[in-house]
A and B are shown apart, each in its own frame.
Chain A
């Protein structure tokens, strides 16, 4: 996927060398169509939820619940979007979340309190991202394989640390952050973190050289190199970024669940990739938006919520999830070809 054989050459790849206003316009317009279609899906879902369970669904507490549940996977998805836009993939996100969450909740780490837990989670995440990045950028390993290796070893290490046991968090300041009393103006702190990560992610991807380089590397790495971009360093940074997001997500998960377990982050890689794809990110790289990915996460979380409120079982939920991925991609291909 790092071959110069460029995918449908849309404006985003052409944009880099020239970066002229018309290209921007086209991109915005197209992004808007996609975003609008996702918002449409979300609106339909909210309608369904509101009709089937008006009291339980259309409720402040439920809104807080849906957003909280979206936070952990949402932060992971922001990092994943960057990686996919650059033409890579990170299969290790779930395993990194697991490793970071158990490392940060060992008895030894918990002795250092809030700061110790937060620091460890972030450092472990960044560390894993660094290994991924070095292997891919400088070891010339295919991202699929390098991150698959990380998936296996990080899960293994997480299991070794916990010995299969559930590590319960006893630091009050960490636990309190997940309680209702910690809500700021009715917004759970976890959701605030998610929002901040989303905004920063959007700004970085859309308003900085780093973001444009990411798109360029994903669209056509050879052209990017010829344009003077240090492709390898860019890749290293991107996996670091994904690792950082995993570290933050791990901390959020610790706060949310009050524990660290080696089974944490199970299949996050698939959830994050799925959310990015229905959000309009091209798996081949060169195109993708943070807004789309976050909407993708919200769509999945809302579906899960509506299903749970209506007491539908997990088999139905999984079937629906698969159907929605297919439908979303088909719809987007249509809108992409007509605009």
Chain B
């Protein structure tokens, strides 16, 4: 599994795993030797070598928190890496009308490929459709459009998977402990993604009959709300064994509340993958022992996908002639054992 540690392998985690499986399948099939290779082995895969010039239009929401800021950084840095990519990046906006206007401008400029992280996926579906009809393929980043007709490829994180992996991690850590009590500090409750994370977490915990989720409060992804809600949770639950916090930004506040209450009798798992969380995990002197990723590197991958689209190629590590229609990223659990590897991807 050395591919996983390589950069490309890291970015296309899921893709690399399936490619690995495919390759293993090929090699174990003794009779077929190099003479009649599968056609796919000649497929033009996008690699680091310069190819046809591609102009990529990038439209995202206003980078008003660390994760979105990291999304912009990842996209820019990735585009700079390629001499054959020109990135047209718009001023981020949370206003639907404004973002529609920005994307229409990019369509009129006739960029080759669009990468769109909509402020609101449903509200921007129409403009995605418009771009596709104008012959500009759209890579839909993370917040999904209403219909697959509005994008050529969707790539994004796995909120359900975050909850699932957090739940399993906690479940394994508390194995053998009878009547274990777990609490959840959720994110903004009026977002669907929060419901999905909670659903995943609950589903994972069902595998561990010794664990009971005793409390859940929703913060607002901000440090301030994280501190406030965590302080209340700590007061409400005088004893519990583990805590899952949906978001590392609000986790800064949650950790502050934990410190203020002088509690250290439980294990905490975070979410998203902020630098401060990675550092705390590495130091290993507090309650925070792990965090579940929602990797902002997906923006770099989206640039790769857009470039491959523009050059009419597939992606390395996959047998197909073209890029996939949909890629769901894996929500890896980062703990002390692998934190060094992820440290450079941590966002502030």
Asked whether B216 lies within 8 Å of A166 as measured between CB atoms, the reply is: no
Contact of B227 among A256, A266, A313, A315 (CB under 8 A): A256
For B68, what are the chain A residues with a Cβ–Cβ distance below 8 Å?
A: 164
Asked whether A178 lies within 8 Å of B236 as measured between CB atoms, the reply is: no
B190 to chain A, nearest CB (A): 8
A59 to chain B, nearest CB (A): 7
The closest CB in chain B to the CB of A311 belongs to B215
Q: Is B265 an interface residue (CB 8 A)?
A: no
A164-B65, A164-B68, A166-B66 as given contacts; A261 in contact with B236, CB under 8 Å? no
Contact of B65 among A65, A178, A263, A309 (CB under 8 A): A263
Q: Is B8 an interface residue (CB 8 A)?
A: no
Which among B15-23, B218-226, B314-322 touches the partner chain? B218-226
For A165, what are the chain B residues with a Cβ–Cβ distance below 8 Å?
A: 66, 69, 348
Interface residue tally on B, bucketed by range: 35 or more
For A314, what are the chain B residues with a Cβ–Cβ distance below 8 Å?
A: 189, 217-218
For B260, what are the chain A residues with a Cβ–Cβ distance below 8 Å?
A: 178-180
The closest CB in chain B to the CB of A69 belongs to B228
- When chains A and B are docked, how far (Å) is the Cα of A56 from the Cα of B239? 12
If over half of B's interface residues share one DSSP class (helix, strand or loop), that class is named, otherwise mixed; here it is helix
Contact of A59 among B215, B231, B235, B252 (CB under 8 A): B235
The closest CB in chain A to the CB of B253 belongs to A257
Asked whether A266 lies within 8 Å of B69 as measured between CB atoms, the reply is: no
For B224, what are the chain A residues with a Cβ–Cβ distance below 8 Å?
A: 253, 256-257, 261, 263-266
Asked whether A309 lies within 8 Å of B232 as measured between CB atoms, the reply is: yes
For B249, what are the chain A residues with a Cβ–Cβ distance below 8 Å?
A: 166, 261
Q: Is B246 an interface residue (CB 8 A)?
A: no
User: What sequence of 0s and 1s flags, for each residue 126-165 of chain A, a beta carbon within 8 Å of any chain B beta carbon?
Assistant: 0000000000000000000000000000000001000111
The closest CB in chain A to the CB of B218 belongs to A314
The closest CB in chain B to the CB of A308 belongs to B232
Asked whether A168 lies within 8 Å of B220 as measured between CB atoms, the reply is: no
- When chains A and B are docked, how far (Å) is the Cα of A59 from the Cα of B259? 19
Asked whether B216 lies within 8 Å of A257 as measured between CB atoms, the reply is: no
Asked whether B252 lies within 8 Å of A164 as measured between CB atoms, the reply is: no
A311-B215, A313-B189, A314-B189 as given contacts; A262 in contact with B64, CB under 8 Å? yes
A56-B238, A164-B66, A311-B216 as given contacts; A266 in contact with B232, CB under 8 Å? no
Q: Is B63 an interface residue (CB 8 A)?
A: yes
A241 to chain B, nearest CB (A): 23
Asked whether B229 lies within 8 Å of A163 as measured between CB atoms, the reply is: no
A164-B66, A261-B222, A266-B220 as given contacts; A69 in contact with B236, CB under 8 Å? no
- When chains A and B are docked, how far (Å) is the Cα of A164 from the Cα of B225? 16
For A55, what are the chain B residues with a Cβ–Cβ distance below 8 Å?
A: 238
Listed A/B pairs (5) with beta-carbon separation below 8 Å: A165-B69, A264-B224, A308-B217, A309-B236, A311-B217
Question: Given A164-B69, A258-B256, A308-B229, list of 6 further CB < 8 A pairs?
Answer: A69-B231, A166-B274, A168-B252, A264-B222, A266-B222, A305-B235
